[in-house]
Structure 1
Amino acid sequence: MKRFNDPIKDDFRNFLYLVWKHLNLPDPTAVQYDIADYLQHGPKRCIIEAFRGVGKSYVTSAFVVWLLYRDPQLNILVVSASKDRADQFSTFTKRLIAEMPLLAHLRARPGQRDSSIAFDVGPARNSHSPSVKSVGITGQLAGSRADVIIADDVEVPNNSMTETQRQQLAIRVQEFDAILKPLDTSRVIYLGTPQCEMSLYNELLKRNYQIRIWPARVPDKAQIAAYGDRLSPFVFDLIEKGWKAGAPTDPQRFDEDDLFEREASYGRSGFALQFMLDTRLSDAERYPLRVSDLIVMSINPELAPVRLAWAASPEARLELHNVAFNGDHFYRPMWVDKEWTPYTGSVMAIDPSGRGGDETGYAIVKFLNGFLYVTAAGGLPGGYDDDTLLKLATLAKDHQVNHIIVEANFGDGMYTKLLQPVVQRLHPCRIEEVKHSSQKEKRIIDTLEPVLMRHKLVIDPKVIEQDAKSVHIYPADRAQQYMLMYQLTRLTKDRGSLAKDDRIDALAMAVAYWTESMARDADRAAADLREKKLQEELDKFIDGAMGRSGRPRDLWVRV
């Protein structure tokens, strides 16, 4: 890189300090300085993964200005998931130029482009491409030319939730290769926080990109091994200095208490993604529940087939809203018996919510011949308000539920007392409380895993689609946490692995009801069989002891 013998032009960190002073901010933190150094000296194709809230977008906006300060002839394209987000980046950049006296010579002159989304700097020569342009990833990328492309949070929950969305995003960013000028100094710089375990940023490693990672906490040995050479040398230096695993890497931004609060809010898996940048896909023992083990079919409200057959064959694959891991798909049954018969029964499980951000989870599961049929499942944002209680009672009536079970760990039975009169008025049926004392995550997995592995859980596709639609009322970055299918595929046995678990907990309660019932039936059947065999043996003994006279059995007198 060209040397200017100017401390501001030679070292971006000096320029960053001036920007922070202009903005009346505290001095840049050590992590921000390290990100700044990597922006200046990093490779041609690089990815900066830093924990949420570290200020990487602000640092990079200053970097864009610094690049133009050094070379006003550059063309820089800013791309984000949405045009609004990209425009915010370019607007902030333009304001720095307009407000800082040091940058007065870069302000646009009469006749030059001067909008917030596409502007020129004063010394720039006439060109088809503006000095800085912002665009959304789904916007018009073709026709642009750039020396530097800044991809600022192109991956967000709304465009990476399903496998299809992730594939579409990967195709969109391929356009960068056509936009980038064929110069040795041209660069593509991604800024982001992975939104899922199958993050685009991991896929970019196959395209010769290099990742530099700044986690919020000092990683432990297992995490260090997983990061490998992608972990910032800055973090390695902290470890060599004696910083213990779990300590904040940037205590000026987030101290230990703050990080603990955020971990409780996001859940362990969410915190691992958003703050530790840990996208490892663990083995089946960690994520044991998979949607491919379900049988997906339209469920009749009154009858079900006597038997079903599951198969994960390509021709049986269903294209539904799928938030599971790549390669984990929904499948319809391979074969359905022509004989149909009424269900044995229908149970509704309810996991009540308090006044916080949790939902009231519910699941309705019907039973026939060893198969469990999920006819309804979801969550209601309310807790014990009249509207929520009425909706639950209406669901029980619509699905002809004959038994309701309620998690009794809330309010010492108060929820059941509130629900009972509403249900009795609308749809009289038995209501029972259940209590759980074991660890929730382990209990749910121990309940659902055997049923799924035997392919005994059948779910209506309407339940899956409604599950996806019902979370639109929540913020985009948190919405998927409320989805039943997300909770099912992201649950681990780690305590607090999910930020939200109301829907999966309700489903596990309903399944447990029937599996316990099946176990009791099996025990009774086994006892009946033992008694029958014992009686047969006793009859044989009596026949042998009394002689075979040929007289009818009912003439023998038993003592």
Structure 2
Amino acid sequence: MPAPPRRSFRQFVWVYNRLQGRITPALHVRVTDWLEACWRGGDRRLLLMVFRNAGKSTLVGQFCAWILAEDPDLRILVLSAEQNLADKMARNVRRVIERHPFCEHLLPDRKEQWAADRFTVARPHDFRDPSLCSRGITGNLTGLRADVVICDDVEVPNTSDTPGKREELRECLRELDYILMPEGTILYVGTPHSYYSLYAEEARAELKEAAPFLAGHRRLAIPLLDPQDGSCVWPERFPPDVVRRIREQTGPAKFRSQMLLEPTHVHEVRLEPERMRRYRGEIELASSNGETVLTIGGRRMVSATCWWDPAFGAPKKGDASVVACVFVCEAGDYWLHGLRYLTHDPARIAEQDEAAQLCQQVVAFADAMAQPAIRIETNGIGRFLPSLLRQAVARARTGCAVIERVSSRSKVQRILDAFDPLLASGRLHVHEEVWQGGFVQEMREWLPDRDSRDDALDAVAGCILEEPVRLSGLHALRTRPSWRTARPAIAPSSFDL
């Protein structure tokens, strides 16, 4: 079989569009030139982000046909969030091959190799894998091998709207290393659907990422509006009135995500983490002249609350059991210094039941945070825990009081009452370690009218709404200096009038 003449991808797209009675907009020329430059230049890790309804999947389908026309031995795997979306891409590629004059040499003699989800072109060598195969991201990929993997819209709301789904998506994508040939190419195509998008250019501290998921990928991002001057990059199709209508119909959050390509949730964030103040200071206890002072980052604390919102369940399943502590300084600011998601070890149930394991962790947390008391929410399963918690306190000899609390207000109302005033006034400080955990994720994704994850939010709200606990008057099995009770001052009372 003679080798086909070498043609540019721009020429390939222009000819096909001309046959279909369409023009090739400048935006598409920019994308085609970038894809060809990456392919010719040997870039093998690529990310293409273009705003919604820009025809990026259509162009990528033509890209697949073009590289097959240049090298019929290539094996391409198309992945999408769902099987029907991947099949749509496969049909697009197959249709281009059938109609494009540059692809005549690819048409096979046997039509049984020309299926909806896979097809094999006429090629010099015989391989077990088809020329193109389409799969949903959660489908069975075992045994497949590919020279090119196209990840077309693998991130959609159904795969990215919860932390569990996002982690499952990433695990599936990590498996591609076993499918892609050593010198193979992987191309991600899509738009961000979450602040924690796998397309994010910066690592997310609260996910404890050392680097973004697609670190090292060559990127091309084309938002609808130019970030420099705000002009539309495709004014013929998106005139000002159309842009305005899209913005109004979709809302600002979704417009930023899908049209401006800014990794953000597609809904408006109700509790904005950016309104909190991050800090790194640690607890310091100092005693002098009979007075004990507790400071964090040089700021003196005058009160504190520790709240445990208990729950049972195996790790990563069901509601989370969360304990948190919040300090209040002399200026009236709130300092969220510690927060733990508690889990029990199912392998240790025979020697210590889950309730005892959780109580032990809560006592250790309160002791590390210099807390004089632990408040426990006794709604639901927390009803029988106070006695177990007191036993754990006695065994540890920490001197903490255990105070029972019943919440009568709805969880949503408690969270709003606690956070809204502090966020509006910028008086909530959050320790760096807390910021890097699940608490900030809960804030970004929490919606009052949706079943959102809110266990940490509820525990912190309990701390904020509680009257601060004073150390004076509490029994102490182990002597702990009082950092909350100021030494009385004696002033002279004899004056000459």
Please indicate the TM-score interval, normalised by the length of the shorter structure.
Answer: 0.5 to 0.7
Aligned to 1:272: 256
Partner residue in 1 for 2:116: 116
CA change 1:71–1:288 in 2 (3 A) is same
- Are positions 1:210 and 2:210 aligned together? no
- Number of residue pairs the alignment of both structures matches: 329
Specify whether residues 339 and 289 from structure 1 end up closer, same or farther in structure 2 by C-alpha distance, changes over 3 A only. same
> Using a 3 Å threshold, how does the CA distance of structure 1 residues 33 and 65 change in structure 2: closer, same or farther?
same
Structure 2 counterpart of 1:314: 340
For residue 272 of structure 1, report the CA deviation from its aligned partner. Answer: 1.6
Q: Give the Cα–Cα distance (whole angstroms) in 1 for the partners of residues 272 and 412 of structure 2.
A: 25
Give the match for residue 37 of structure 2.
41
Q: Distance in 2 between matches of 1:503 and 1:138?
A: 26
C-alpha contact 2:324 2:339 (8 A) present in aligned 1: no
Structure 1, unmatched stretches of 5+, are 221-243, 299-307, 319-331, 341-368, 379-440, 456-484, 492-499, 505-517, 519-559
Counterpart for residue 246 of structure 2: 262
Q: Which residue in the other structure is 1:15 paired with?
A: 12
Letter in 1 for 2:231: A
State the secondary structure of the residue aligned to 2:79: strand
Q: Is the 8 A contact 2:198 2:214 kept in 1?
A: no
Q: For 2:422 and 2:159, how far apart are their aligned partners in 1?
A: 33
Secondary structure of the corresponding residue to residue 150 of structure 2: strand
Match status 1:50 vs 2:5: no
**Structure-to-structure mapping, 1:313-392, within 5 angstroms:** 313-316=339-342, 335-336=374-375, 374-375=409-410
What is the letter of the counterpart of residue 158 of structure 1? Answer: N
Q: Distance in 2 between matches of 1:452 and 1:84?
A: 49
- 1:24 pairs, out of 12, 21, 25, with 21
What are the Cα deviations for residues 356-383 of structure 1, in whole angstroms up to 9, with x where unaligned? xxxxxxxxxxxxx9997553769xxxxx
34-43 vs 253-262, which moves further: 253-262
CA 317–126 in structure 1, closer or farther in 2 if over 3 Å, else same: same
User: In the alignment, is the contact (CA less than 8 A) between 2:81 and 2:156 conserved in 1?
Assistant: yes
Residue type at the aligned position of 1:187: T
Deviations 1:481-520 (A, max 9, x none): xxxx9996369xxxxxxxx99789xxxxxxxxxxxxx9xx
The AA in structure 2 aligned to 1:164 is G
Structure 2 CA distance for aligned equivalents of residues 144 and 338 of structure 1: 52
Separation (CA, whole Å) in 2 of partners of 1:276 and 1:267:
12
Change (3 A) 1:173 1:310: closer
Q: Tell me the residue number matched to 2:196.
A: 198
The offset of 1:263, in angstroms, is 1.9
Q: 1:168-218: CA deviations, max 9, x gaps?
A: 2112111222222223xx311110101111111236555421221101101
User: Counterparts of 1:47 and 1:255 in 2: how far apart (Å)?
Assistant: 27
Which letter maps to 1:277?
A: L
Match of 1:97 in 2: 97
Query: SS where residue 123 of structure 1 aligns?
Result: coil
- Tell me, yes or no, if the aligned pair for 1:153 and 1:192 is still in contact at 8 Å: yes
1:489 aligns with 2:444: yes
What amino acid sits opposite 2:190 in the alignment?
Answer: G
Q: Deviations over 1:452-475 (max 9, x none)?
A: 9599xxxxxxxxxxxxxxxxxxxx
Q: In the aligned structure 2, how far is the partner of 1:450 from the partner of 1:297? A: 30
Distance 1:75 1:310, change over 3 A: closer
Q: 2:235 is matched with which residue?
A: 251
CA distance in 2, matches of 1:164, 1:218: 34
Please give the TM-score of this superposition, normalised by the length of structure 2.
0.55
- Aligned residue for 1:175, secondary structure, equals helix
Change (3 A) 1:126 1:288: same
Q: Does the C-alpha gap of structure 1 residues 317 and 144 become closer, same or farther in structure 2, counting only changes over 3 Å?
A: same
Deviations 1:110-169 (A, max 9, x none): 276221111111235321110111111111222111111111011111111122221221
Alpha-carbon offset, residue 294 of structure 1: 10
Question: CA offset at residue 270 of structure 1?
Answer: 2.1
1:58 partner SS: helix
Deviations 1:204-245 (A, max 9, x none): 55542122110110114xxxxxxxxxxxxxxxxxxxxxxx3x
For 2:171, the aligned partner's letter is I
Distance (whole Å) between structure 1 residues aligned to residue 86 and residue 65 of structure 2: 15
- 1:19 aligns to what SS in structure 2? helix
Structure holding more helix per residue: 1
2:185 alignment partner in structure 1: 187
1:516-538 CA-to-partner distances (Å, cap 9, x unmatched) read xx9xxxxxxxxxxxxxxxxxxxx
**Where does structure 2 lack aligned partners over 5 or more consecutive residues?**
201-210, 279-305, 312-321, 326-337, 345-361, 367-373, 380-403, 431-439, 452-464, 466-497
Q: For residues 288 and 261 of structure 1, do their structure 2 counterparts lie closer, same or farther at Cα, with a shift above 3 Å needed?
A: farther
Amino acid aligned to 1:149: V
Distance in 2 (alpha carbons) for counterparts of 1:337 and 1:60: 56
Structure 1 residue 86 corresponds to structure 2 residue 86:
yes
Paired amino acid for 1:21? R
Q: In structure 2, how many angstroms separate the alpha carbons of the residues matched to 1:269 and 1:294? A: 33
* 2:155 and 2:192 in contact (8 A); partners too: yes
Residue 317 to residue 193, structure 1, CA distance change in 2 (3 Å): farther
TM-score norm. by structure 1 comes to: 0.50
